[in-house]
Amino acid sequence: MLQRSITLRYFLGLVPGKRRFGPYRFLPVFFCIGGVMEWIMINVRIGKETFYDVYRRKRSEREYQQKVADGFIVMNEPTAK
């Protein structure tokens, strides 16, 4: 465990800006990772849908269910003949 800690500390020490920025020197890396993740969620299709397609569909379903629950939309029941 100690060896792993020393190795990790060594690699973290290789990142420039330790004196000037301190722990905030890693922010650009995580910012870029977040941007790439967002791009993948919007543009990469898994099957026939992207993550954003699923999000929009679920939001639309929730809005419809809320309107039904509030009584704005009345479900038509089939009439007996």
Q: Letter for the amino acid at 65? A: Q
At 37 the pLDDT is: 95
> For 13-36, what is each residue's pLDDT tens digit?
898 888 898 889 999 999 999 999
At 78 the pLDDT is: 65
SS3 content of the chain, % helix, strand, coil (to 5): 70, 0, 25
Q: Answer whether residue 81 shows pLDDT above 70.
A: no
How far, in Å, CA of 20 to CA of 27, rounded? 13
At 62 the pLDDT is: 95
This prediction's pTM = 0.59
At 74 the pLDDT is: 74
Nearest residue to 50 via CA among 61, 39, 60: 39
Coil/strand/helix, residue 46: strand
